[in-house]
Structure 1
Amino acid sequence: MGVAILSSAPAHAGDRTISLPRGPAAEAVIALALQTGTSIVIADRTVGRRPVPAIHGQIDAGEALRRIAIAADARIVRVGPNAWRLIDRPKKPGRRPVVVRSPAPYKAPSQPETAATAPIIVTATKRDVNLRDVPAQTAIIDGHDLTLGGVGGTDKIVERLSSVSSTYLGSGRNKLFIRGIADSSFAGPTQATVGQYLGDLRLNYGSPDPDLRLSDVAKVEVLEGPQGTLYGAGSLGGIIRFVPNAPRPGEFEASAILGASATQEGDPSGDASLMINLPLDDGTTALRGTFDLARTGGFIDKPNIGKQSANRLDIAAARVAILRKLSPQWQLSISALGQDIDSADSQYADRSGDRLTNSASVPEGAMAKFRAAQAVVDGQLGALRLRSTTGWVGQSLEERYDASHDGEDRTFTQDTRSRMVSSETRIWMPERNGFGWLAGASVIHSTTTLRRRLERYDQRTVLTGVRNAIDEATVYGEVGIRLRDVLLASAGARVTWSHLSGAGEDVLPAIAQERVGVTAARSAITFLPSLSLTASLGDRTSLYLRYQESFRPGGLSVEQEFVKRFNDDHSQTFEIGGRYGLAERDTIDFSFNLAYTDWQDIQADFIDGAGLPSTANIGDGRIWSATVNAGWMPSNALRLELGATVNQSKVDPQVAFSLVRARQIPNIAGISARASAEWHKDLSSGRDVLVRAWLGYIGRSRLGIGPELGDLQGDYVDSGVTARLGSRVMGITLGVTNVTNARGNRFSLGTPFDEVRRQITPLHPRTVRVGIDYRF
């Protein structure tokens, strides 16, 4: 007996937001028919029981049905204008069904296709380029994968990709790096080397990684850099783009995740996440909200202040979005988010002893607050697409460091406040008849104020700080031309006018009277070109060559009690790479990339003569980076992955830094590697079991530039395993992280004022988590 679904609602010819759950093909088809007003018949119960992945995106019914058919190893037969049948595909010797997991949304053809694979479109390219034609190392992580075992932050991305690394000062205080492009250990007035985006909204400028909770996210795209043509300043290493699930008009939907964890040698932890989607009318407007709470128990003892498990971490986050369908082709969305991170104390420890004890004699907590709001208009003008995003971002960070000296307890406090207003409008045409193009314009106004003070007993001394402001106006564009059926050439350019201004904060009167380095202002025009060539060698293989540039504007920093200027830095990258097959679609997939970067006037942090962190141009650098990723599906139930990144770098320091202990780029391991295995099996009554295990190795690196920051770190192995048993509606998870309970040393910095410099940041001890997830 077959499964037949018929809806009398009118079908829409254009793309719309479709969201189908993971589960049996029959359930996915029912949801698709209800959402699109189509008639779909499954003629064979065997096909209806086959598992299909979750499908989300701005696509039409035909494309969604094609993805279901691929996953269910079925064939599509069209029986009417909005009616189809799914029938079992005849089996051939040695042929395996193809499994696909939530590919990125893209513009689909009006007729369903029966090809063995559907193209994956990388929306981070800003003109919807087929993954096969993207001339860069690219990773797309499905949002469901990021919440398996509990909602996390950017640590989930670092855990999965060997090319992405992080510092470990603490949540909301870290810096992310991609492809060996790293500048320094702590967040100062320099702009980040990795741009982070929520959709098209820039999240960071002169501020650290906000470590947003990755709940209810459709996907995360990581595009290795430089990406100066498309994303401008601060994309030397690349960009990370978070794509949240959009509100779904006409449907009520809710889900919840609850978890409890026990940490060896530490306090217990707990986490909770709730998502709700509310229709506000008869099918054109919806509200979607996500709410997260988490407490991570501490595991570092501070006996000198009488605290055990002192480094407790509390996170509270919320994201709300409203979407309004203005017409079949146009929509407006407005969203806002907020997140507070309260770190009760630092997470570093002494190298000696059990490596879970900190001998600091003062509390060293931190408070990070992040706020953002944006409005997005998205639509079509015939064959053209238009998207305009306007947003505001505010980030505040207060950090406390032990600055005790000669037996006297002292605390150094640093307040960093960043505000940014940005707007970008772009219009593009995805490739048609061998030709595609993109044109855009943007404006940004960003200010960052850094204030510092030193406290001892009941005395407070205000130290010199700095304020940096930047205004940018940009136009950019890119053109892709298919010279032959197998050869695609792309060229782009970005022109940015920027005005930088800065001033000292709380400057000593004697210095302020002389106006010595207290204020500065200048304007500049920057041109960033890009060129690439991609060759398709068959349906599954492509090779590419690329040249790209990027930069970061300069600014003001503080050295001792003086305000000093640092200049722009600029990078030029040449790379070659290729890929074979598609991850989780083909039995074997493989990608590689080899890149050389020439980096001039590197902006980096160092320790000045007073023991305080400062920023300067430390010299020129050259970086070789190679990345390899491979996947193998020996059966429908099992997938194995392996990835590795190798970095070799050298810095030619300026005269002031000519006596440094190490001349390689800081914080970047010479080699890092990751291996994982995922096993998925269907059980009876619509239930299934999923097990994922991973192992990661981070090689040796040095903390920073300068004799005070030359300590070694890294050279450790991390691991984890998570299992889920349940159905589409409810599941129970059991996970273990740091399976071997390794100590390791993720980061050799806790406070820059430690005179002996015997600090480590250990891995979080072995932790067992039990969780439950439920869909309403």
Structure 2
Amino acid sequence: MNAIPPLLLAAGLALAAPVQAQLTGDAVAFSIERKRLPEALAQWSRVTGLQVISQAEVVRTLTANPVMGTHTPMEALRLLLANMPLTFSTIGENTVVIEPMERNASAPKTTLPLQRLAAAQTPAPSVRLEPARVEQPIQEEVIVTAQKRSERLQDVPVPVAAITATALVETNRVRLQDYYERLPGVNFTLGTRGEPSVAIRGITTGAATPTVGLTVDDVPYGTSTNLGGGYTVPDLDPSDLERIEVLRGPQGTLYGASSMGGLIKYVTKDPSTDALSGRLQMGAESIENGDGLGGSVRGSVNVPVTDELAIRASGFMQYRPGYVDNVQTGEQGVNERKSYGGRLAALWRPSQDLSIKFSGLMQDINTLGSQLVFVRPGLTDLQQSTLRGTGSYHTKNQAYGLTVATRFGDVDFTSVTGYTVNDVLAKTDYSSAFGALVAPFGVTGSPLIDDYTAGKFTQEIRLSAPIGDHFEWLLGGFYTDERTRWHQSILAADQSTGNVVGAPSLSNWLVTYSEYALFGDLTIKFSERFDVQIGGRATQNRQTFEQVTLSSPSNTTTVIPRKVSEDEPFTYLLTPRFRISPDLMVYARVASGYRAGGINASGAVVPTYKPDKTNNYELGVKGSAFQNTLTYDVSLYHILWEDLQLNLLNAQRLVYVGNASEAKSQGVELSIEAAPFEGFTVNAAATYNDAELSKSFPSTSTLWGASGDRLPYSSRFSGSLTAQQRFALTDNMMGFVGASLSHIGDRLSVFQGSSGGSPLPRQEFPAYTKYDLRAGVELDDSWTANLFVNNVTDKRGVVQGGIGFRFPFAFQYIEPRSIGLTLAKSF
């Protein structure tokens, strides 16, 4: 046999170790972290006792994927090399040869030397590694980017829920309010204008300024302040989403402002150069008491342009019939919803060490009327009585992102540039609140029109690298520039017709917000089992506000000159992690978050207010058992919330925002995924959360809150259970049936004021349980038909309303029972 050429490297030859396994043999426990490919191959070889032969020039610049848990040697190698331009073949039962793919013409060929090595043996056919075809024995590993690096979900020392988009699309759960019950610790409500708002682990006082951050492909979404627009949930149609990651607990170090309660990450699908592919789906849906039939069309296509460039395009249109009737105007189904949008993405990967991705997203969502339901004499189920032309909520959202990832030696460099535009037009019936303002015009109706545009530019740069085998660091910088132009009109309208006859107040204001931040973390690996992550973020932000108001019929102009607010918050994290085994990990986490301060628009004791902060103390356990057929995630947490942003009262009894009081949130969360037998999967989640004030509100507050009072909208117990069975119908047809239930415990609405030294009552929202069913067939892995029934018992679960709302007799419910069918074709 001829000598092996110098270009061939025997990576991890197992030295003189005896062979311990065969490629197709029994499963072995692996704990291979993200590291240089030669080092990872050597570790794979040591664990299996098998030999790996590869070219030094091919593997020395690549980084291996992490492999954790129990796998056969072949499965582990496929995971290790996933997404790389490599193939591998076998020589006998104990040797693997790794080579570049044939399309990489610049790579040296190794056919002749390997044939000489093989001698009389015939190598097995090469296996081309395509990520979508990596096979897992039981359940597919879920990879998340919660810590701004790709990691196996079970290895991330952060409580994360990852929900895939496929099931959401097939059952028409396309809005966050349709599926939030499946996410541990997440509470959902709607604001006075119909805008969605989310809280995690009970961290909310019901204010509009967000306590949960939102990102789309790591680009922050929505404004950072209340005056700038507050919370804007993109409600992305999930047809082009890879997954949704929900991070629970403060995430201020890596994600900055507005993540004091947690973070929701929308991760879109990347273009792929592997093959031309696509999907087309059509659906129809009927809603209880709905005015007609709803429908949807969704499509996506992936086009490889070259071996280095791919483009992905997607689009959707959807119509949801209204189910609330307005008895004052005689209109049926006033809350109908029309939406459409699309996304275009291009990925260019000229080399293994450089990728550039650009994406553009647009969506238009128009809810034509309010979903408020009035509970009062003379009205029946799903009815309201509001001013004609009010209740609509129209949003136009755009998001653009440019991500550049490359490598300089051992250092990974990532640049994420984003620009988002949110246009909102909301028309709300405030006749009961503004009666005195509209009286001079001889009418009683008063619609409030909010029309604003918020533009946000962000830039983030990250550097990361290992230092030997014991250290790994990440360093980043972040900048954002936000600008909101808001037009608010208080109009006078005829109550019977909705015709506008005057404008008592017209206001225009401009809000700007800028932020500079430096952040980083360092992971110290004391051993392969034990490591500690420490990190911090130093931030400087600046906010301005100015307003002009024209009042009629007095024709007076009020000018509020520019006000400025500046803050310099600091956040931190400390996370020790210990791997008891490759399938069991325990961790502790100390982390903080903050919400930006702001400016008071009217006269106040203080012109500005400070950020409020959360400090989180947590213990967690993640693991798997029974050859990965059971995975579990348990976390026990205690959160301290300082300097709550509250409505306070000055000497002239004008409301302003100030900092006062303290609160705490503590509880336990449990998530389980299991596949106990072939074709059957079950997912369960449960949360016990005790979120309450730990210090009473000051006497100057317009709200009453005593130590021990529960925080708004937080249920003490919530949980969900989903099960599905897949089975073969014929050789090329599979069937499936599934069911799910979600339970939301009782809650209280926002804090109220007091009367005679005693607190006014808060609205109670009773607990409810919702059931969903689905069934369908798959033909030739390309056609899918899915029949679903959501909210089977037609439950009226209360989301918002009642005491403290603009109509104390109005409530917002979860969507009534809906029955639908979707048909999809993939190619």
Residues 580-611 of structure 1: per-residue CA shift (max 9 Å, x gap): 217x9723332221211111222357999999
Change (3 A) 1:284 1:437: same
* Equivalent residue, structure 1, for 2:518: 475
SS of aligned partner of 2:328: helix
- Kept in 2: contact 1:559–1:608 (CA 8 A): no
Shift of 1:259: 0.5
Shift of 1:692: 2.5
Residues 720-756 of structure 1: per-residue CA shift (max 9 Å, x gap): 11223013211100000000111121222699432xx
Residues 61-110 of structure 1: per-residue CA shift (max 9 Å, x gap): 9xxxxxxxxxxxxxxx9986983599xxxxxxxxxx94223622xxxxxx
Which stretch of the first structure deviates more once superposed, 125-134 or 552-561? Answer: 552-561
- Kept in 2: contact 1:627–1:644 (CA 8 A): yes
Residues 376-404 of structure 1: per-residue CA shift (max 9 Å, x gap): 11123344322101111111212122112
The reply on whether 1:148 has 2:140 as its aligned counterpart is: no
- Kept in 1: contact 2:567–2:610 (CA 8 A): no
Shift of 1:411: 1.0
* Equivalent residue, structure 1, for 2:637: 595
* Equivalent residue, structure 1, for 2:719: 673
* Residue number among 260, 264, 273 corresponding to 2:284 in the alignment: 260
Structure 2 distance, partners of 1:541, 1:357, is: 53
* Equivalent residue, structure 2, for 1:89: none
Structure 2 distance, partners of 1:589, 1:147, is: 25
* Equivalent residue, structure 2, for 1:632: 674
Change (3 A) 1:197 1:12: farther
* Equivalent residue, structure 2, for 1:101: 140
* Equivalent residue, structure 2, for 1:248: 272
SS of aligned partner of 2:581: coil
- Kept in 2: contact 1:255–1:274 (CA 8 A): yes
Mapping 1:79-118, distance limit 5 Å: 83-84=126-127, 98-101=137-140, 103-104=142-143
* Residue number among 651, 658, 662 corresponding to 1:620 in the alignment: 662
* Equivalent residue, structure 2, for 1:718: 770
SS of aligned partner of 1:747: strand
The reply on whether 1:701 has 2:719 as its aligned counterpart is: no
Change (3 A) 1:276 1:608: farther
Shift of 1:637: 1.9
* Equivalent residue, structure 2, for 1:495: 538
Give 2:454's aligned amino acid.
Answer: S
Change (3 A) 1:508 1:437: farther
* TM-score in terms of structure 1 length: 0.81
Structure 2 distance, partners of 1:162, 1:705, is: 24
The reply on whether 1:365 has 2:408 as its aligned counterpart is: no
SS of aligned partner of 2:526: strand
* Equivalent residue, structure 2, for 1:546: 589
* Residue number among 569, 574, 577 corresponding to 1:534 in the alignment: 577
Structure 2 distance, partners of 1:100, 1:388, is: 33
Change (3 A) 1:609 1:404: farther
SS of aligned partner of 1:506: strand
Change (3 A) 1:618 1:290: farther
Structure 1 distance, partners of 2:166, 2:467, is: 30
Residues 192-233 of structure 1: per-residue CA shift (max 9 Å, x gap): 211111112111233321211111222222221211111111
Change (3 A) 1:205 1:720: same
SS of aligned partner of 1:167: strand
The reply on whether 1:326 has 2:350 as its aligned counterpart is: yes
Shift of 1:713: 2.1
The reply on whether 1:305 has 2:305 as its aligned counterpart is: no
The reply on whether 1:385 has 2:412 as its aligned counterpart is: yes
Residues 108-165 of structure 1: per-residue CA shift (max 9 Å, x gap): xxxxxxxxxxxxxx32201334444422211122233332323613235414213222
Which stretch of the first structure deviates more once superposed, 538-547 or 152-161? Answer: 152-161
The reply on whether 1:279 has 2:304 as its aligned counterpart is: yes
* Equivalent residue, structure 1, for 2:782: 729
- Kept in 1: contact 2:649–2:700 (CA 8 A): no
Shift of 1:529: 1.7
* Residue number among 756, 766, 769 corresponding to 2:817 in the alignment: 766
* Alignment length (residue pairs): 687
The reply on whether 1:193 has 2:211 as its aligned counterpart is: yes
* Equivalent residue, structure 2, for 1:182: 204
Structure 2 distance, partners of 1:79, 1:505, is: 83
Shift of 1:465: 5.7
Shift of 1:765: 1.4
* Equivalent residue, structure 1, for 2:228: none
Structure 1 distance, partners of 2:568, 2:394, is: 37
Structure 2 distance, partners of 1:611, 1:161, is: 41
SS of aligned partner of 1:386: strand
Give 1:99's aligned amino acid.
Answer: I
- Kept in 2: contact 1:148–1:722 (CA 8 A): no
Give 1:536's aligned amino acid.
Answer: R
Change (3 A) 1:136 1:289: same
Structure 1 distance, partners of 2:155, 2:719, is: 26
* Equivalent residue, structure 2, for 1:90: none
* Equivalent residue, structure 1, for 2:220: 202
Which stretch of the first structure deviates more once superposed, 169-178 or 316-325? Answer: 169-178
- Kept in 1: contact 2:763–2:803 (CA 8 A): no
* Equivalent residue, structure 2, for 1:111: none
Query: What is the root-mean-square deviation of aligned Cα atoms in Å?
Result: 3.8
- Kept in 2: contact 1:588–1:631 (CA 8 A): yes
| Residue segments in structure 2 that go unaligned for 5+ positions in a row | 1-56, 66-73, 93-99, 102-117, 130-135, 225-230, 436-442, 494-500, 754-759
SS of aligned partner of 2:799: coil
Give 2:581's aligned amino acid.
Answer: G
The reply on whether 1:402 has 2:429 as its aligned counterpart is: yes
Shift of 1:661: 6.5
The reply on whether 1:660 has 2:660 as its aligned counterpart is: no
Structure 1 distance, partners of 2:137, 2:815, is: 38
* Residue number among 724, 739, 751 corresponding to 2:792 in the alignment: 739
SS of aligned partner of 2:700: helix
- Kept in 2: contact 1:468–1:556 (CA 8 A): no
Change (3 A) 1:606 1:639: farther
SS of aligned partner of 1:286: strand
Change (3 A) 1:304 1:661: farther
SS of aligned partner of 2:302: strand
Shift of 1:451: 3.3
Residues 440-486 of structure 1: per-residue CA shift (max 9 Å, x gap): 11111112344322111211122556433221111111011122332
Change (3 A) 1:166 1:560: farther
Structure 2 distance, partners of 1:269, 1:171, is: 24
Give 2:475's aligned amino acid.
Answer: A
- Kept in 2: contact 1:680–1:690 (CA 8 A): yes
Change (3 A) 1:490 1:157: farther
- Kept in 2: contact 1:171–1:341 (CA 8 A): no
* Equivalent residue, structure 2, for 1:351: 375
Which stretch of the first structure deviates more once superposed, 586-595 or 701-710? Answer: 701-710
Structure 2 distance, partners of 1:241, 1:82, is: 40
Residues 251-271 of structure 1: per-residue CA shift (max 9 Å, x gap): 322211110001121132111
Residues 496-551 of structure 1: per-residue CA shift (max 9 Å, x gap): 12222222242779999997x64321433222121111121222222111111111
Residues 284-310 of structure 1: per-residue CA shift (max 9 Å, x gap): 222211101111111101010111111
- Kept in 2: contact 1:451–1:505 (CA 8 A): no
SS of aligned partner of 1:474: strand
| Residue segments in structure 1 that go unaligned for 5+ positions in a row | 1-10, 18-24, 44-59, 62-76, 87-96, 105-121
The reply on whether 1:448 has 2:445 as its aligned counterpart is: no
SS of aligned partner of 1:283: coil
Change (3 A) 1:601 1:508: farther
* Equivalent residue, structure 2, for 1:748: 801
* Equivalent residue, structure 2, for 1:110: none
- Kept in 1: contact 2:155–2:622 (CA 8 A): no
